[in-house]
Amino acid sequence: MIASANPRRRALLRATAAALVLPALARAAARGVLERAGGEPAPRLALTDASGGVRDIASYRGSVVLVNFWATWCEPCRYEMPSIQRLREKLAGKPFGVLMVNVDEPDARVRRFVADTKLDLPVVMDPGKTVTRAWSVRVLPTTFLVGPDGRLRYRLIGDMDWSADQVVRTVTDLLPEKSTMR
């Protein structure tokens, strides 16, 4: 083997491999951790849902909203969807909403996927990635928690179990106090 005959070349190959692999391992280790967002107002989001109606994030004012960017071809996206459904069920009756933003896929494919999975999550379509770009999403899945004041509170790049107790507590802590609810 040529690489084993040349110690300098072996060292160079190891350094190159480390430069390529270590960032990926660091990203994987950070997966599943909610990062605090800066608290800036959430970008505009008004898109057509799977049944042809328009969903506007502005109509969720006063509620915490989970906004998830996904695609049918994205395995981690599909993996986390049932846990988003469970989180929604755990918070039923509370001022909490979900918007699942499909990124640039044909309507028919999205409708078929929604029908096949039998998940009860509000899906909206972003056919030209206008909203995806406005929210600075570059990796799928990416999820945001928007506070009742319409400001970005948390962000997650990658998938996680959204129904885990710690996550439910984080979301619950964002919910408005009863005294401020209408």
Contact 152, 37 (CB under 8 A): yes
Cα distances (angstroms) measured from residue 117 to each of 110, 144, 179, 181: 11, 23, 38, 34
Say yes or no to pLDDT of 181 above 90: no
Q: Which two tokens stand for residue 59?
A: 């109509």
Say yes or no to pLDDT of 168 above 50: yes
- Please check whether the domain covering 33-177 is classified as CATH 2.60.40.10: no
pLDDT at position 22 is: 42
Say yes or no to pLDDT of 182 above 50: no
Mean pLDDT, residues 22-42 taken together: 69
- pLDDT band with cut points at 50, 70 and 90 for residue 164: very high
Kindly give, in sequence order, each residue whose CB lies less than 8 Å from that of residue 160, ignoring residues fewer than 6 positions away: 31, 32, 33, 34, 80, 83, 167
Say yes or no to pLDDT of 29 above 50: no
pLDDT at position 175 is: 97
pLDDT at position 40 is: 97
pLDDT at position 167 is: 96
Say yes or no to pLDDT of 152 above 90: yes
Mean pLDDT, residues 77-84 taken together: 97
How confident is the model over 106-137, as pLDDT tens digits?
999 999 999 999 989 999 999 999 999 999 99
Say yes or no to pLDDT of 100 above 60: yes
Domain extents in the chain: 1-30, 33-177
What is the DSSP secondary structure assignment for residue 157, as one 8-state letter?
E
Higher-pLDDT residue of 21 and 170 is 170
